[in-house]
A and B are shown apart, each in its own frame.
Chain A
Amino acid sequence: MPAAPFDYEAPATLADALDLLRERGEDARPLAGGQSLVPLLTLRLARPRLVVDLDRLHELRAVRRTPGALEVGALVRHRALERGEGLLALCPLLQEAAALIGNARVRALGTVGGSVAHADPAAELPAVLRALDGAVVLRSARGERVVDAGDFFVGMLTTALAPGELLTAVRLPLPSPGAGFAVEEFSRRAGDFAVVAAVAVVELDGGAVARARVALAGVGPVPARLDRLEAALRGERLESGAIRRAVAERPLEIDPEGDIHASAEYRRHLAAVLTARALERAAEAAGRAIV
């Protein structure tokens, strides 16, 4: 089905884009790579009066290094993450996660900002942002604010973005050198959204876990962090099976709902399987880094 008619603007500067978004408020929707918005338009699940194409805003393509963190512009495409272009190579976790996004066509057009602002509960990058304790940079005609990922994702496809506000960048604190990471996901079909995905980051100290972080996608309306498991893993030594036991010992602090692709029960099972796999692989990678 073709989209319902809408006006189209492609402002040349961020200031112009923010002015348009402020003026038109709820009637306007920003367009980045179009991988989420365009299907919503053609299915007529979204019927904005105005589409503000951000494609000319080159300032949103920048990647900057700040002390201990990487700031990735909203218009950086998944393909650039996947290839670890330029400074993005500093965070190879992005490479592994981005390679799992959709298919090559989606990755060629889809953007970091688009994925994070769309906030699909099964998407990879929001989970990465949560796992790394990242934040998002939001700009409006009134100014800029920085919101922690934990506060940004409010519900299913719902974020803390206010009307007139634009997500311009994500901030990713870089794991310590020597940290290990892994992304594990399960989907029904190649290239689909994950049913469940797990992102793990593990830092070791002398063969024991100094800090483990796990974020899950697909187990609730927003990406989940497993605080209790993370706490339980602290100080755990990595002999064989320790992680699997730790995961199996306690129910994961998630409350998934069932849908046509998987029952709640099966999602919970997948979450445990993928959490263990991701943590084991991340710990192994961290172990190798020490040696």
Chain B
Amino acid sequence: MAESPAATRERLRVVGRRLPRHDARDKVLARTLYAADWQMPGMLEGAVLRSPYPAARITRIDTSRAAACPGVAAVLTARDVPHNILWTDVPGQTSVVGPLRARVQVLADDQVRYQGEAVALVAAETREIADRALELIDVAYEAQPGVFTTEDALRPDAPRVHEEGNVLATWRVRCGDADTALARAHAVVEQTYRCGLIDHAYLEPEAGVAWIDADGVVVVRASTQVIEHFRDVADVLGLPHNKVRVIGPYVGGGFGGKEDVTVEVFLGLLAYRTGRPVRMVWSRQESLLARPKRHPFTLRYRTGAARDGTLLAHRIELTADAGAYAYLSALVLLYATVTAAGPYRVPHVAVDARAVYTNNPPTSAMRGFGAMQMVLGYESQIDQIARRLGLDPVEVRRRSALRRGDRLPVGQALDTHVAVAEAAERAWAALGPPRAPSSPRHRVGRGLACNLQPYGRLVWLRDWASAWVGLEADGSVVVRCGVPDVGGGQASSLCQIAAEALGVEPDRVTVHIADSALTPLAGTTTATRQLYMSGNAVLVAATQLHDEVRRVAARLLETPVEQVALADGAATAGPERRVLLADVVKECARLGVPRSHLGVYHAPAGDPVDLERGGGRVFPDYTFGAHAVEVEVDVDTGAASVRRHVACHDVGRAINPQSVEGQVQGGAVMGLGYGLMEEIIVDRGVNLTTSFASYLIPSALDVPDVEPIIIESGDGKGPFAARGIGEPPIGPPAAAIANAVEDAVGVRITDLPITPEKIARALGLLSGG
């Protein structure tokens, strides 16, 4: 019989505690050695020459002047790269577009496809010399016509970004009969939404150091979410995979921007060529210019509802701008397709989605990964249905909210708790009584938005993670796990899980993370998967260890094993009988009982499903939530500001409530920036926003205190029934704000970001329409 959530919470000693992270103090005191802080004797500085054109043919590259510059150790172009292609495998792609098209050239050979594309590399004694050498590389470009909107890219006569054509990927879902249901629906709302191109804007730009170690292994210590990129470095260099090692230091923010390769391959090439350590640190301008960003989408929704507001049907068309290279676009589009109907029971759904190449900056992974863009669509639609039918925003959502056992339009049945209705009710209620506007020219409005976000990777990727847990002779605990810690508390959560399982305090646990040579691989810190995956792997290993140790302790205590408990660094059997964990470990050694275990966790696996036919499980599980906001709009200027923001998510179990709240608040603020101000502006392929003076992210003064409400349903697929919370909180804010703006001033903004100018225009304040 399953234990009640409350009983579990009562029993847990370390899990559920608000613990400061073990890495926090060092970070605050500037002791943490981030990727760019690493120094080595004889270290060179690397730099990248980037294309100023969004579409051009390279007719000639002359590196002789740069190479002759004193202090320059290497100048590399495409001809110097042993294997000049990086591949992204996209298993399960159902359209005719095959997986092999998801590739990117390491350095541009004869063609550049976006402004900022890497053309050449330099390593030099100083950054100054490297920069001078970049200026001395002579590249002759022949500008070519490009395509800069998805509409243009889809025209039959459009210039082709890649030879194969401009449609990169397509997905379709057919569930029920959307057209017939729409024809019969009582209320139909049709609207087109656009969400913009944005940047991850993490504190730490891309950086790393590479060197060749004494055994001839190429070592890359880089800011990354994926230490498994050692394979990419090896493939490009033409080395065996076991001759490249990636070490992942603590990361100053990733959000998907360090999921694809950034500096790793460039560093590997330069270190391998020069035989010397090389450091590369991208500037903020470089980061904003050249690294893949979030997909802009055009979302066309036709939604039908019954008289009582029950959702009946969606017909959805999605077009994503993939930019110049595929990267993870096909997968981002898949997430969008699977979640496009939102966390609601909708019996009739048709989705047609496509990702299109343009000569804009490439787009790829970013927190929310396609699923978050959809929230603007489905939550704006349901709000307009409520408005049309005169229904309360909570009531209309409650009526169609998914529940356990319901199926998503792709056919996946939900087999854990689904907290959509509860989250909506609690978030909305927490706003409390309405507050008066702060001046006569202000209007106040409220908005609600729910969402779902998968945690864990596609089931047909057969995801797994491993971790090693061992006891030292003094009873201290070591965890080794290849998880990169991107600032979400990934490492310290593992300490808490191991401490819980082994009955020790968390400060008795040391965790070694993110070294592809020395820590068992745990997969990527992406897809809201690490607490779920590496947490489960640690729990598997620690539980095995616990069981062994407990058996040996029972022998020492001369007690039946069922009566032995591990707690407070000792094994006890009642108040009188107690033996220190250190002594049990020594006894294990004497008996030859293993004092360490490798734990492997396999996520639910399955074959690729045919989405169109409603094939079944796509993701292991989903996290559900709702945000409620109160905004105030200045009716003279159109400026909207968020005064209250309540964010409610079911996390199954909060391993560290402080970290969970941090994720929720950080995600909400990031979503708020997406909703109100963030926008990479690209004019015919040229990025106009390559500094934080032009690319606006909210400052502390632009956001309210986000009030988190954490639901612990006690049901989820992670350790101790946890669900992932890394990505989910970024989803709802933009739609909640759009809904609140309509509530305040009666205009519906359908394009992100919701700028003062757009509201002013919608209010008719600007003469020119």
Contact = CB atoms under 8 A, between A and B. Distances in A.
A67 interface: no
B637 A189 contact: no
Contacts, number: 53
Nearest to A262: B757
A241 interface: no
Contacts of B693: 39, 192-193
Interface in A1-20: 1-2, 4-5
A291 interface: no
Contacts of A277: 636
B639 A266 contact: no
A269 B701 contact: no
Contact of B698 (A43, A186, A189, A266): A189
Nearest to A189: B696
B677 interface: yes
Contacts of A273: 636-637
Nearest to B765: A269
Considering residues A43, A186, A189, which has the most beta carbons from chain B within 10 angstroms of its beta carbon?
A: A189
B699 interface: yes
A176 interface: no
A5 B131 CA distance: 12
Interface string B683-699: 00000110101101011
Contact of A188 (B691, B696, B766): B696
Nearest to A1: B283
A74 B761 CA distance: 42
Given A5-B128, A260-B681, A269 B760 contact: yes
Interface in B695-711: 696, 698-699, 701-702
Contact of B689 (A1, A186, A193, A260): A260
A188 to B, nearest CB: 6
A265 B677 contact: no
Nearest to A186: B637
B637 A270 contact: yes
B285 interface: yes
Interface in B741-769: 755-757, 760-761, 765-768
A189 B127 contact: no
Contacts of A66: none
A186 B677 contact: no
A191 B701 contact: yes
Interface residues of B, number: 28
Interface string A65-89: 0000000000000000000000000
A263 B699 contact: no
Given A5-B128, A188-B677, A189-B677, A266 B283 contact: no
B686 to A, nearest CB: 12
Interface in A37-62: 39, 43
B115 to A, nearest CB: 16
Contacts of A5: 128
Interface in A260-285: 260-263, 265-266, 269-270, 273, 277
B766 A265 contact: yes
A43 B691 contact: yes
Interface in B574-607: none
Contacts of B283: 1
A265 B755 CA distance: 14
A263 B757 contact: yes
Interface string B346-382: 0000000000000000000000000000000000000
Contacts of A186: 637, 639, 756
Contacts of A190: 699, 701-702
Contacts of B760: 266, 269
B626 to A, nearest CB: 27
A1 B285 contact: yes
Contacts of B128: 2, 4-5
A43 to B, nearest CB: 7
Interface in B630-677: 636-637, 639, 677
Contacts of A43: 285, 691
A263 B688 CA distance: 15
Nearest to A195: B756
Interface in B263-305: 283, 285
A188 B701 CA distance: 12
A57 B691 CA distance: 33
A43 B756 CA distance: 29
A256 to B, nearest CB: 13
A96 B757 CA distance: 26
A262 B755 CA distance: 9
B702 A266 contact: no
Considering residues A4, A5, A261, which has the most beta carbons from chain B within 10 angstroms of its beta carbon?
A: A261
A117 to B, nearest CB: 19
B699 A189 contact: yes
A260 B683 CA distance: 10
A192 B701 contact: no
A192 B693 CA distance: 8
Contact of A266 (B688, B691, B701, B766): B766
Contacts of B702: 189-190
Contacts of B698: 189
A172 B459 CA distance: 71
Given A188-B756, A266-B760, 8 more contacts: A2-B127, A188-B755, A189-B702, A192-B693, A192-B696, A262-B757, A266-B756, A269-B760
17 contacts: A43-B285, A43-B691, A186-B639, A186-B756, A188-B677, A188-B696, A189-B698, A191-B699, A192-B693, A260-B694, A265-B766, A266-B757, A266-B760, A266-B766, A269-B760, A269-B766, A269-B767
The 6 A-B pairs at the shortest CB distance, nearest first, are namely A190-B701, A1-B283, A266-B757, A273-B636, A260-B681, A189-B696
